[in-house]
Structure 1
Amino acid sequence: MNDTLSVNDFSDDVTDQAALFPLLSDKGDRRLIVEWIESHDSYTLVDPDQPVETATFDCCIVDGEMLQTHAETLRARKRKAEPALLPCLLLIPGADLSVIETDRGEIADSVVFETADEVVSMPIKKAELEWRVEALTRLRTQSLRLKKRTETLELFKQAVESSGHAIWMSDATGTIKYVNSEFESITGYSRTEAVGESPELISSGAMTDDYYSDLWETITAGDTWHEEITNQRRDGSQYVADQTIAPIVEDGEPKAFVAVQRDITERKEIEQRLSLYRDIVERLEDPIMLQSCEGEFRLVNDALCSFAGLSRDELLGDGEYEFMDAATATEIARQKQRVIETEQPVEYSVEPTFTHTDKEAVFYTSRYPYYEDGELTGTVAICRDVTNLDKRTRQLKVFDNILRHNIRNDVNVIRGRGKQLQDELDGDLKAAADVIVERANGLLTTSEKSRKITDGLSDPRDPAPVDLGQVVRNLAEETGQKWSNASIDVSAPAQLVVSASDSIDTAIEELLINAVVHNDSDEPRVSVDLTVDSSWGILRVRDNGPGIPEFDRNVLESGGAIETLSHGSGLGLWLVYWTITHSGGKIRVDDREQGGTEITIRLPLAAEK
């Protein structure tokens, strides 16, 4: 029996010997059968004293008494082995039919024929026993192989049906014989509609004739085809697939083909967008970079390479320390760490010294957190080259300083002469002198506010933590001392720390002075309240004056009408607007029912350290 293999009903392991289990009550018959089994290299002996429930065998040789005793167990073992055969050979004495007959003369089907696969009478010749056992063990081996193939095919079918890719199979002519459920999902065609058709069913017309000629030539030659293809769904929409078609070859000839399609439409769309974005990034004259959380460059554009004086390959994997002075690189590293810790964008300016080029630049940088699959993996920076703007700003600041210095000197002279005239003249001439002094004072005030605005615009520092409660209390006390007829009440917590521009004290002072100076009441009253609302610090300034003009309201709330600002109060209100906006805050102006104005300012609370 060298051409047979053995696999027991509890294992798929393959051996080259069939295991025989002599389940015999007659000691003489058992001895003869055991000796016969041991004399064959093709068989192995299963210990006859093993329990029937646990014995592992390929064929059971049983007599009538043992059959009657173990019939139910043997039947259970046979059912468990299905669809493989677990054969039993029944030995009965030639003249004893009691095993297969009942006391009523009927054949005991449930006992014998549902359990035994062959029945032979004793005594039996060795040649016949050899033939009978060999036939049963061969059937056992064949049934095991068939079972294994069936299980493999079923597993293959489950895998194909569970695949996330569209799979179809065709015969040698290309006629579709099978499609899986994902094919139905992707293409919109059901199995019934697809089977019997050719793959032209999903042809979009986007591929050339040469494409299909090369495909067919490749797979009919027995080779595998792997290319992208644009197909068409049942509803007329198109999709892009990564397609592999492999031939199933028998006797050197393709007998069938199996195709696997992976829908990559979304990926192709993303690639096209990325390609467009990459082209845009590369064309920009401003440096753009993507860096890991450790600061290593993962993406850089040509502009950065040009400033750095290094190639893209030289930059990738390194950081700013490779091409600029250490102090600037350290400052950039600090800003990157801010983004990583807060997961919020930051803006800053740097003026690096490049170590590989003689270029000069001032960069205003916006840096953002970068995520992959929802996880923070680095930062993206867009560096705006503001070198020329910075030079102009410095030049304008110098010009502004010179101009303001000259104006202040001249105005001071005019005011001094006007005061002299006030002391020496009376009547209409004294009134004229009063106007001169008043206007001179107004010009000096406007000049001072202009200076503060110029300083703020030319050097806009990042908002920083400020104890707004302490600032308000100090300014209210100073304002009350200057205008003793005014009542200024403050309601504020002991400490209220907000994030604000460093000109926040000037802005609040402007609001308090306006509330007093432009108040037509005999007893100007101003109340300042500080409260907290969620993540905001709220500042409310209320007065009992005549209300705020529409022009000034527009300046405060939207920064509008800046081109028409000419007087000191207008510039002051615009300074308030710019300060609050730069701090990330908001302003609202309301008229009070009992008269006067209420100005509400919202400033973000400072982050706790």
Structure 2
Amino acid sequence: MSNPRPIDEPSGAAEQAALFPLLSEKGNRRLIVEWIETHDDYTLVDPDQSVATATFDCCILDGEMLQTHAETLRARKREAEPALLPCLLLIPEADLSLIETDRGEIADSVVFETADEVVSMPIKKAELEWRTKALTRLRTQSLRLKERTDTLELFKKAVESSGHVIWMSDTDGTINYVNSAFESVTGYTKAEAIGKSPELLSSGQMSDDYYTDLWETITAGDRWREDITNERRDGSQYVADQTIAPVIEDGEPKAFIAVQTDITDRKDLEHRLSRYRDVVERLDDPIMLQTREGAFRLVNDALCSFAGLSRDELLGSGEFKFMDDATARKIARQKQHVIETERPIEYTVEPTFTYTNKEPVFYTSRYPHYEDGELAGTLAICRDVTDLENRTRQLRVFDNILRHNIRNDVNVVRGRAKQLQEELDGEHKATADVIVSRANALLTTSKKSRAITDSLSGSHELESVDIAQLVRKLTQEIAADWPEVTVDISGPDQLIVSVPDSIDATIEELLMNAVVHNDSDTPEVSVNLATDESWGVLRIRDNGPGIPEFDKDVLESGKAIETLSHGSGLGLWLVYWTVTHSGGHVYVDECEPTGTEITIYLPLVSTN
């Protein structure tokens, strides 16, 4: 029989002590084995096991086995320290003189280094009983002491390696222990802190009432937890979440232990967030933070006011809770685009709010939002441009009247110039040609200006358009007018998107720019149609000289207005506003070795 319990594991009150009979004389070994097997308090360790690996609480051995295994047993006892691994030595009474020799070789080198008790044979069962119990009791006590010592050592290591500031004091407040984090955070060494009062860290920021309440709480045996502003050795300050607890013995505090967590950075962040929150709440424009799935995580009062719902009602929901379905779907597509591309976008919506019956116009900027380096959702800032839209409509009336009068006057000038072309010759005819050319350019610019005005100040109504058919129609017309240009088109036969009615002029403008400004010896234009998630994609690529930077700015962001002094520039503005009002996006890339690729994303209309 054997006991698999580790050598340093205490038996416990409910467990049997494991006895290892290591006896050379067969008769004695049989008697001891029988005694162990019939005893309720003990379990037998197989006497044939190796002394080096057997698991036992007490070894019972005789002189011959002592001398044979003395070195191994001493090694086992050293391994078990500080726990006791007792050995009970049984020696015939006639041989007791061996341990009392003048030379003392056996006693010095073997017996008293290995055996913990020496008993003469024959031994009575009662004596064997109490001697064995005494040794196993000492074994159990030593194991329990070792366990407590190990626990205390582990606790000390944990406290020393903790990132929290920990210090202990006696009941009069004198510090008697600090850990390594105390030194690194406060700048005071252990030698400088031990024997001092916690006033060593006083910053002067805490009131006398704070310290009075603290002291009254912990001396009454209760735990104290509050934030505190302390001062480091170098004079700088830090904010800590501090807990001080009394160590109670016999119902009275015997010591105090304090644990501090440096929360200076967190407090600074909370202060900044509080300022930001105040700013956000003061804005009249709705601001919202949403998850990747579109659920509101943060909303300001402006959005609550427009929606007619409380903050609690909005958090966890989305636009479908308080907007008309068409607008909510459009916004959902914009959010999805930001999630897919991780790029900010801008778009305009005119929602109808269900609970307030408001119909404002919002110009929205939506950005990707990250947490811990991972894309967590989107942040949207909605600018209420309702009044601006009303002014735009008023300007449109003025623009219509003004442009009507100018167009009429230009038509008159062009008509008279054409008459002069027919009647004059030489230098005068060349002058008339210039007048006709400029008049035609003014009429073209007027046409594009009208399209832009319609795009900016129209109702923004969207309609379903098959741009695949539209693109094929326009490319056929261009191929007929410009036979020297190779025009290639690829993609599906049908691609239905949601766009304003100015989409025809928009695509025509892009195709014409790719053809007219192409100075290549073999001009080529390729048009590709595709789908990407919830978007219809149109790519127009040419091998021309490339697009100027200000034209790129116009297409992608509506900037560089000061550079727009020609008709083609106005056409690019038409592209920008048409795509923007559809909720789409324009991207411009340079091609190698020459040329430009313009990619337009337009909201896809499901055909299911």
* Shift in Å, 1:296: 1.8
CA distance in 1, matches of 2:552, 2:66: 103
CA distance in 2, matches of 1:417, 1:607: 45
* Shift in Å, 1:213: 1.4
CA distance in 2, matches of 1:31, 1:97: 23
Q: 1:558 to 1:376 in 2, by over 3 A?
A: closer
CA distance in 2, matches of 1:437, 1:390: 37
List alignment gaps of at least 5 residues for structure 1: 1-6, 482-488, 517-524, 543-552, 588-599
Partner of 2:58: 59
CA distance in 2, matches of 1:51, 1:356: 86
3-state SS of 1:112 partner: helix
CA distance in 1, matches of 2:60, 2:163: 50
Partner of 2:9: 11
Q: 1:8 to 1:605 in 2, by over 3 A?
A: closer
Partner of 1:240: 239
* Shift in Å, 1:431: 9.4
- What amino acid is aligned across from residue 208 of structure 1 in structure 2? S
* Shift in Å, 1:415: 3.8
CA distance in 2, matches of 1:405, 1:584: 35
Partner of 2:163: 164
CA distance in 2, matches of 1:359, 1:118: 98
2:132 is equivalent to residue 137 of structure 1: no
CA distance in 2, matches of 1:607, 1:325: 23
**Contact 2:518/2:542, CA 8 A, preserved across alignment:** no
3-state SS of 1:222 partner: coil
Partner of 1:571: 566
Partner of 1:401: 400
Match for 1:46 among 29, 44, 47? Answer: 44
Partner of 2:509: 506
3-state SS of 2:369 partner: strand
Within 5 A, what are the aligned runs for 1:348-387? 348-387=347-386
3-state SS of 2:377 partner: strand
Partner of 2:276: 277
* Shift in Å, 1:101: 8.2
* Shift in Å, 1:75: 2.6
**Contact 2:441/2:567, CA 8 A, preserved across alignment:** no
- What amino acid is aligned across from residue 411 of structure 1 in structure 2? V
TM-superposition CA deviations, 1:96-129 (whole Å, max 9, x none): 1586489987436333222111223234566655
Partner of 1:304: 303
* Shift in Å, 1:475: 9.5
Q: Among all aligned residue pairs of Structure 1 and Structure 2, give the percentage whose two residues are the same amino acid.
A: 66
Q: TM-score, normalised by structure 1?
A: 0.76
Q: 1:511 to 1:292 in 2, by over 3 A?
A: closer
Within 5 A, what are the aligned runs for 1:521-532? none
CA distance in 2, matches of 1:449, 1:218: 80
* Shift in Å, 1:420: 4.8
CA distance in 2, matches of 1:281, 1:64: 90
**Contact 1:64/1:99, CA 8 A, preserved across alignment:** no
Q: 1:227 to 1:603 in 2, by over 3 A?
A: farther
Q: Larger deviation: 299-308 or 341-350? A: 341-350
**Contact 2:11/2:140, CA 8 A, preserved across alignment:** no
Partner of 1:198: 197
- What amino acid is aligned across from residue 327 of structure 2 in structure 1? T
Within 5 A, what are the aligned runs for 1:108-257? 109-124=108-123, 129-257=128-256
* Shift in Å, 1:182: 1.9
CA distance in 1, matches of 2:596, 2:430: 44
* Shift in Å, 1:61: 2.4
CA distance in 2, matches of 1:230, 1:411: 78
* Shift in Å, 1:494: 8.2
CA distance in 1, matches of 2:179, 2:292: 44
**Contact 2:281/2:300, CA 8 A, preserved across alignment:** yes
* Shift in Å, 1:412: 2.6
TM-superposition CA deviations, 1:301-346 (whole Å, max 9, x none): 1111111111111112222222121122122222222222222222
2:356 is equivalent to residue 388 of structure 1: no
TM-superposition CA deviations, 1:258-286 (whole Å, max 9, x none): 11111112222222222222211111111
**Contact 1:580/1:586, CA 8 A, preserved across alignment:** no
CA distance in 2, matches of 1:432, 1:60: 127
Partner of 1:591: none
TM-superposition CA deviations, 1:35-59 (whole Å, max 9, x none): 7667876x42525645253554332
Number of matched pairs: 555
CA distance in 1, matches of 2:43, 2:553: 100
- What amino acid is aligned across from residue 12 of structure 2 in structure 1? V
* Shift in Å, 1:506: 3.2
* Shift in Å, 1:573: 5.2
**Contact 2:523/2:543, CA 8 A, preserved across alignment:** yes
Q: 1:270 to 1:530 in 2, by over 3 A?
A: farther
CA distance in 2, matches of 1:556, 1:8: 81
CA distance in 1, matches of 2:23, 2:17: 18
**Contact 2:448/2:571, CA 8 A, preserved across alignment:** no
3-state SS of 2:240 partner: strand
Q: 1:312 to 1:209 in 2, by over 3 A?
A: same
3-state SS of 2:235 partner: coil
- What amino acid is aligned across from residue 378 of structure 1 in structure 2? G
CA distance in 2, matches of 1:125, 1:470: 115
CA distance in 2, matches of 1:554, 1:342: 23
CA distance in 1, matches of 2:566, 2:601: 31
**Contact 2:281/2:301, CA 8 A, preserved across alignment:** yes
CA distance in 2, matches of 1:116, 1:298: 73
Within 5 A, what are the aligned runs for 1:410-559? 410-417=409-416, 419-420=418-419, 440-441=439-440, 443-455=442-454, 458=457, 503=506, 505-506=508-509, 509=512, 540-541=544-545
Q: Larger deviation: 553-562 or 251-260? A: 553-562
3-state SS of 1:381 partner: strand
**Contact 1:479/1:513, CA 8 A, preserved across alignment:** no
Q: 1:471 to 1:540 in 2, by over 3 A?
A: farther
- What amino acid is aligned across from residue 57 of structure 2 in structure 1? D
3-state SS of 1:200 partner: helix
Q: 1:329 to 1:427 in 2, by over 3 A?
A: closer
TM-superposition CA deviations, 1:394-425 (whole Å, max 9, x none): 33234323332333234334543554566578
List alignment gaps of at least 5 residues for structure 2: 492-502, 527-538, 578-585
2:287 is equivalent to residue 292 of structure 1: no
Partner of 1:545: none
Q: Larger deviation: 205-214 or 340-349? A: 340-349
CA distance in 2, matches of 1:255, 1:411: 102
Q: Larger deviation: 247-256 or 195-204? A: 195-204
- What amino acid is aligned across from residue 61 of structure 2 in structure 1? V
CA distance in 1, matches of 2:75, 2:257: 41
- Give the aligned CA root-mean-square deviation in angstroms: 4.6
CA distance in 1, matches of 2:347, 2:341: 15
Q: 1:106 to 1:307 in 2, by over 3 A?
A: closer
- What amino acid is aligned across from residue 338 of structure 2 in structure 1? V
- What amino acid is aligned across from residue 92 of structure 1 in structure 2? I
* Shift in Å, 1:147: 0.8
Q: TM-score, normalised by structure 2?
A: 0.76
**Contact 2:587/2:600, CA 8 A, preserved across alignment:** no
Partner of 1:314: 313
**Contact 1:165/1:182, CA 8 A, preserved across alignment:** yes
CA distance in 1, matches of 2:188, 2:426: 103
3-state SS of 1:236 partner: coil
